[in-house]
Structure 1
Amino acid sequence: MSLSVAILDDYQKVARDLADWSRLPAGSGLTVFDRPLGDLDAAAAALAPFEALVIMRERTPFPAALIERLPKLRLLVTTGMRNNAIDLAACAARGVTVCGTGAVGAPTAELAWGLILALVKRIPAEDRALREGRWQTGLTGSLEGRRLGLVGLGKLGTQVARVGQAFGMEVAAWSPNLTDERAAAAGVTRLEKRDLFATADVISVHLVLGERTRGVVGADEFAVMKPTALFVNTSRAGLVDETALMAALRDGRIAGAGLDVFPVEPLSANSPWLDLPNTVLTPHLGYVTKDNYAVYYRDALEDILAWSAGTPRRLLTAG
């Protein structure tokens, strides 16, 4: 059974090299899109010919309005096992099978520390200054003895906590469901949300975005932060009130922010974020590692082969 297959949002142009796509059913065609597809109409027109799509998690959204305009679509494979940008109920209603893939390690935790260190040690600013002929333009900060505040203490938050502890930081955490016992098991102090924001020197966000957590960090939280404190978000932009964060940075009510996620991605060339000097910004790199991508595309190919053989694996369903 031949298939018309498309891979979306291959920004780094590596998908063809990270899996043996010659294993697709005989006669199948493979198309790779390495740029965003544009608005709903543009995406519908570009994707209409394809029966199977491999999508990178949460880059191109798949709401019901798009799925309904893809009559040939029968299989949707997303990297990872969670993708909030897919309307799974709409897929089920149209008879579209949705599958996920594995992943490796916790690269987002590593990136969170990259942003924290870049801010505390002024790495981007001093790099620019040095290249411009200036030497030691400011004082850097220290981590030992400071408080790291984690919003979320799951897999990623726990890994970030361990690194903070290795730096000699005091680590505290809050999440809607965090208990004293679970925090203590990670060597972390559980605090109420307001107390966490009021006392932390660095806040790092590690929650899953959902109805209960959307906008969980807003104006009230930024209002109580220390003016010397730093804020880092490598999770999802929807967890944070963007307007409130921008205002806190512009007004100097917090010292800086490291961000890997934004409400609209890719970030536009005229985004106001680019005008804020007290930020370190990365283009949603948390999961963008060679090891992760190798697993993503290997598993995506296996999903396609399993589905075409009538034995789909790693199924994602609504509810």
Structure 2
Amino acid sequence: MSFKVGLTRELRDAQGEPAFGRRALEVLEANPAIEWEYIPETLREITPEVAARYDGIYVNAPKVTRASVAREDCRVKIFARHGVGYDSVDVPAMSERGILVTNTPLAVRRPVAVATLTMLFALTGRLFVKDRLTRAGRWAERTSHMGVGLVGRTLGLVGAGGIGQELLRVAQPFGMRHLVADPYVDDGVLAPLGARRVDLDRLMGEADFVVVACLLNDETHHLIGAPQFARMKPTAFFINMGRGPVVDEPALIETLRARRIAGAGIDVFEQEPIDPANPLLALDNVIVTPHALCWTDECFHDIASTGLRSIVDVSLGRRPAHLVDPGAWKGAA
């Protein structure tokens, strides 16, 4: 009997090839019973019709809601998320239906940590300002756009899970002081990484570089808003590499418009894709990227290989790695 797998189609590039490379698809060959295809429909949300068609779905952008799996003919046994975040999936609703949800937390740690440093270097080095000066023939103005050194400055992380801890590791050679605001990480984990836990208010006030690296959930929604931005130094930079709704975006826009902080680097937004009329896009003191700064061939291959392996495991009756809700696994059928 075949095990039918659907991949959401936005995972293809402009040529129709898998954005993560063909090599990752070889993982599916571990079970000859697997038949896979790109889901024909372009979806914002997995529909009941799609859920009735496949045993496993590899999902990137579309939401997975209670309505997605509400029908009696729902066939899905696993939704494997392409990436670490799972705020687009109604995990409790899936668990109620006995449907597994997996993510890929290990594959993204180093790429997101490196992407965060990329954003930090671009901001502190005034990279885009200097690019514009050079193109406009304004060479003589370069002394008016001095960069900011890192040694002795303070890096503040809002969230120190796997990605945050990896960032602390890769940032160690740059001579910064490390602060963390995270009520759930153990101090014994932070100490070897040269970091100290503080409350959020203190972190916002002391950090030269504030980086959001936490998950999005009810507790972190709009965790960073006007009161937090008001605590930041006028010389500080703000970077969001986590999820857009962790930040009150209008408050960020107002802070940047008023130039109360030195600048920002934003890879994630409250609405994605971002509205072309979003005021952030008109500001010259923010760098914006399309929730893709960490995307490299290495990153996408590792994500896809891990995610597709979860589907293979379920097809073979094995417990997959990286279950979002471990309690949903009831053993092989």
Interval of TM-score (by shorter of Structure 1 and Structure 2): 0.7 to 0.9
Structure 2: distance between partners of 1:297 and 1:179? 30
* 1:25-63 CA-partner distances (Å, limit 9, x unpaired): 458341256x9624x5xx52883563131112xx22111
Aligned residue identity for 2:266: L
Unpaired runs of 5+ in structure 1? none
2:166 aligned with 1:159, yes or no? yes
Structure 2: distance between partners of 1:274 and 1:251? 15
Q: Which residue of 1 aligns with 2:331?
A: none
TM-superposed CA distance for 1:195, in Å, is: 2.2
Q: Which residue of 2 aligns with 1:196?
A: 203
Quick check: 1:88–1:318 contact (8 Å CA) kept in 2? Answer: no
Q: Which residue of 2 aligns with 1:235?
A: 242
2:38 aligned with 1:37, yes or no? no
* 1:119-144 CA-partner distances (Å, limit 9, x unpaired): 11111222233233332542222222
**Alpha-carbon distance change, 182 to 293 in structure 1, aligned in 2, over 3 angstroms:** closer
User: What is the correspondence of 1:1-319 to structure 2 with a 5 Å cutoff?
Assistant: 1-8=1-8, 9-12=10-13, 13-15=18-20, 17=22, 18-20=24-26, 21=28, 25=32, 28-31=35-38, 37-38=43-44, 40=45, 43-44=46-47, 47=50, 50-51=53-54, 52-56=56-60, 59-68=61-70, 71-75=73-77, 76-80=79-83, 83-101=86-104, 103-104=106-107, 105-135=109-139, 136-137=141-142, 138-177=145-184, 183-285=190-292, 287-314=294-321, 315-317=323-325
TM-superposed CA distance for 1:261, in Å, is: 1.1
Aligned residue identity for 2:179: A
TM-superposed CA distance for 1:151, in Å, is: 1.9
**TM-score, normalised to structure 2's length?**
0.81
Unpaired runs of 5+ in structure 2? 328-333
Number of equivalenced pairs: 313
**TM-score, normalised to structure 1's length?**
0.84
Structure 1: distance between partners of 2:276 and 2:180? 35
Structure 1: distance between partners of 2:202 and 2:225? 14
Quick check: 1:73–1:96 contact (8 Å CA) kept in 2? Answer: no
| 99-108 vs 113-122, which moves further | 99-108
Structure 1: distance between partners of 2:7 and 2:218? 30
Other structure's SS at 1:231 match: strand
* 1:130-180 CA-partner distances (Å, limit 9, x unpaired): 233332542222222222222233333333334444222222222224566
Quick check: 1:149–1:197 contact (8 Å CA) kept in 2? Answer: yes
**Alpha-carbon distance change, 87 to 130 in structure 1, aligned in 2, over 3 angstroms:** same
Other structure's SS at 1:63 match: coil
Other structure's SS at 2:47 match: helix
TM-superposed CA distance for 1:234, in Å, is: 0.6
* 1:40-98 CA-partner distances (Å, limit 9, x unpaired): 5xx52883563131112xx2211112232694432322235652221123223444343
Other structure's SS at 1:176 match: coil
Structure 2: distance between partners of 1:307 and 1:181? 35
**Alpha-carbon distance change, 302 to 267 in structure 1, aligned in 2, over 3 angstroms:** same
Quick check: 2:119–2:239 contact (8 Å CA) kept in 1? Answer: yes
Aligned residue identity for 1:317: D
Identity %: 31
Structure 1: distance between partners of 2:231 and 2:257? 16
Other structure's SS at 2:301 match: helix
Structure 1: distance between partners of 2:268 and 2:72? 29
Quick check: 1:111–1:285 contact (8 Å CA) kept in 2? Answer: no
